[in-house]
Amino acid sequence: MASAAEQLAANLNLGVLSKATELKRRIWFTLGALIVFRIGTYIPVPGVDASVMGEMLRQHGGGILGMFDMFTGGALGRMTVFALNIMPYISASIIVQLMSAAMPSLEALKKEGESGRKKLNQYTRYLTVLIAMFQSYGIAVGLESMRGSFGAAVIDPGWFFRLSCMITLVGGTMFLMWVGEQITVRGVGNGTSLIIMAGIVANLPNALANLLEMGRTGALSTFFILAFIVIAVAVVAFIVFMERAQRRIVIQYPKRQVGQRMFGGDSTHMPLKLNTSGVIPPIFASSILLIPATISGFSAGQGGWLAEIGGYLAHGQPLYMATYAAMIIFFSYFYTAVVFNPQETADNLKKYGGFIPGIRPGTNTAEYFDYVLTRLTTVGALYLAAVCLLPEFLISHYGVPFYFGGTSLLIIVSVTMDTVTQIQSHLLAHQYEGLIRKARIKGRR
């Protein structure tokens, strides 16, 4: 069976893709949705002078504001309807998952199956609205206090502008949340991750041009630029290697006799990825660190302790680095615990007669899974922290664009690999369906 699957995978080509109508429909839907997202990043918020916002971003783009603009695909710098992007939805998902682990009532919903998941998704949407309202109000207040060489950022400040800004930004976030869900269901890949990746990729050419311009003006030496490109390529290769790394646990199934025939006796393996949580921890950590920046917007231009919070958690500051690394490690363990339950997996193995050679079924098997997964997650968490932090030092010290940082490269590579894997799965399923159809036709003849 394995050799047949490998042979099918090896034979995947454009000819097969041209016949996979369902897959083509999914790909075109995904591309269309991402195009709609990119168009929305150019629709301005009413009452805002985008030139002032762009000037402020150029002056303070080396901080957390620049990272936020990277995740929004430049929508924040242009102050468009998608300025918040899908970050409030990610923050809401984090909070709901944390509460699900702490509150028995929410944990019971997770075990109810499809109906429970729908209720949790509904709670996540409600919380998304609240977070988006909070962040949009902070942005509106911050905009009113901004002044550039072209004048004030807000043409007519006041409560009417604040309400209109909040409605526009919250509406943009909810629309993006819906688009992401539609991509996940009707397209290819994870919609939320693809939207974030699309924003980063869209600005890569401009970031590369800025990097080369810094070399031309002498801000960066030619040797440093070449060395940085080599480091970026090495980081991409390292990410691919680590994302494909896995620990294979041998699973044995005993032989059983049914009548005069023997069944079972096969052995297979259960792959446990080194980085089970994927790209979720850096995204979660980044979205959480954006909250203090929003809070500091309340006191923009007024000083005070809220502004000090934003200063301590500014990009490149020691507290920012330490907090970022701690959050990545925490969410690596947390999300791994959410997606993989050792006790449940051990019970399922025992139910179907499977066992790990040398390990008793049941509790001992669950403990063994937990032992292996804890060590894998430790290595995976340290790998994520290293990949995300090491380039950040170069960014904070040399002013290299955010788009070449570890977080952005990790998101691009991981999401691309996940999307390609799903495309290959659809193609493989299409070829199997073709083989079954041919076999049926031959049988009728």
Task: Specify the CATH number for the domain of residue 358.
Answer: 1.10.3370.10
Query: Which of 18-22, 44-48, 119-123, 293-297 is least confident?
Result: 293-297
Query: Which of 17-26, 153-162, 336-345 is least confident?
Result: 17-26
Nearest to 34 by CA among 259, 174, 187: 187
Task: Decide if pLDDT at 179 tops 90.
Answer: yes
How high does pLDDT run on average in the chain?
78
- Across the range 250-276, mean pLDDT stands at 73
- Across the range 403-427, mean pLDDT stands at 78
The confidence score (pLDDT) of residue 398 equals 62
Highest-scoring range by mean pLDDT, 90-99, 189-198, 285-294: 189-198
Q: Are 354 and 252 in contact (CB under 8 A)?
A: yes
The confidence score (pLDDT) of residue 37 equals 92
DSSP 3-state of 258: strand
- Across the range 314-337, mean pLDDT stands at 83
pTM, rounded to two decimals? 0.76
DSSP 3-state of 44: strand
The confidence score (pLDDT) of residue 10 equals 47
- Across the range 221-249, mean pLDDT stands at 85
What range does the domain containing 107 cover? Answer: 2-444
Task: Decide if pLDDT at 312 tops 70.
Answer: no
Place of tokens 């303070």: 60
Query: What's 270's DSSP letter?
Result: E
Task: Decide if pLDDT at 87 tops 90.
Answer: no
C-alpha span between 428 and 445 (Å, rounded): 26
- pLDDT band for 172, please (50, 70, 90 cuts): very high
Give φ, ψ of 272 to 5 degrees.
-115, 115
Give φ, ψ of 43 to 5 degrees.
-95, 110
The confidence score (pLDDT) of residue 4 equals 41
- Across the range 76-88, mean pLDDT stands at 85
Give the tens place of pLDDT for each residue, 64-77.
566 677 777 777 77
Give the tens place of pLDDT for each residue, 351-403.
877 888 888 888 888 888 899 999 999 999 999 988 888 766 766 666 665 55
- pLDDT band for 308, please (50, 70, 90 cuts): low
DSSP 3-state of 252: strand
The answer for residues whose C-beta is within 8 angstroms of residue 94's C-beta and 6 or more apart is: 284, 287, 288, 331
Angle between the N-to-C axes of helices 406-444 and 191-202, in degrees from 0 to 180, rounded to the nearest 10: 130
> What percent of the chain stands above pLDDT 70?
75
Q: What is the distance in angstroms between the CA of the first residue and the CA of the last residue of the chain?
A: 26
Number of domains, the chain: 1
